[in-house]
Amino acid sequence: MGVRRFADRREAGRALGERLAESPSGGHPRDLVVLGLPRGGVVVAAEVAAVLGSPLDVLVVRKLGLPRQPELAMGAIAAVGDVVETVWVDAVLAAVHVDPEEIEAVRHRELLELRRRETTYRDGRPPAALTGRAVVLVDDGLATGATMHAAVVAVRARLPATLAVAVPIGSPSACAALEPLVDEVLCLVAPDTFRAVGQGYAEFGQTTDEEVRRALRGSPHEV
């Protein structure tokens, strides 16, 4: 049997929102905040927020790639306001020796990009208030789960009432690894034959900064 494919991120977001509406995590839209991870996750999250009638905000997360293999995550950073959380992939760092100076250089570079994107996406809007609220973290998919792990740690530091992770597609191992860290993990498709997030989409083009800005501006709800 083939893997379920969504037409694009918007269709995936609508399907995710409909499932969340039936779950405990999406049952109280007035108290709920939907946070999208850039770039593609914000497009998915915008549809989720529209289905639930909940506010939408962005949580910027950056992968920390190995200096000579940048596609392989050795960690990730996420920020809510001034607080920056760093999560490391211990298995990668144990297998590949990286000088501490190189690690710090990568983290510094990605932190600058994280702050640039926050400024670009927010247009001066402050981050959503998360303390005591139900929060759903949304991305367009989970591969290693490193960036979502960093997002979970950053949001947990703000003491939400509940915290859920919701994605249209993900690797079974990444979804399972997040389950002990949150109140709910909703993954619509978790194929045993998982290779990449893009296999769950008929159209999976790169999302631009302007598309993220438009999605955030289009949210009519206060955060």
* Three-class HEC string of 17-51: HHHHHCCHHHCCHHHEEEEECCCHHHHHHHHHHHH
What per-residue confidence (pLDDT) applies to 205?
93
Choosing among 3.90.230.10, 3.40.50.2300, 3.40.50.2020, 3.40.640.10, the CATH entry for 9-58+129-217 is 3.40.50.2020
DSSP 167-211: EEEB-HHHHHHHGGGSSEEEEEE--TT---GGGGBS--PPPPHHH
What per-residue confidence (pLDDT) applies to 82?
82
What per-residue confidence (pLDDT) applies to 152?
97
| Domain spans of the chain, in order of start | 9-58+129-217, 62-122
Predicted model pTM: 0.92
State the CB neighbour count (10 A cutoff) for residue 153: 18
What per-residue confidence (pLDDT) applies to 3?
67
What per-residue confidence (pLDDT) applies to 30?
64
3-state secondary structure of 109: helix
DSSP state of 127: P
Smallest CA-to-CA distance from 167 within 183, 146, 148 is with: 148
Tokens 């108290």, located at residue: 31
What per-residue confidence (pLDDT) applies to 219?
64
* Fold match flag (9-58+129-217 vs 62-122): no
In sign, the C-alpha dihedral spanning 208, 197, 85, 23 is: positive
- Cα 129 to Cα 137, 159, 192, distances in angstroms: 14, 10, 37
Distance CA 194, CA 42 (A): 22
Distance CA 142, CA 175 (A): 7
CATH class, 62-122 region: alpha beta
Q: What is the pLDDT along the chain (223 residues), one digit of tens a residue?
A: 456 799 999 999 999 999 999 887 765 556 899 999 999 999 999 999 999 999 999 999 999 999 999 988 899 999 888 889 999 998 899 999 999 999 999 999 999 999 999 999 988 888 889 999 999 999 999 998 999 999 999 999 999 999 999 999 999 999 999 999 999 999 999 999 999 999 999 999 999 999 999 999 876 555 5
What per-residue confidence (pLDDT) applies to 144?
87
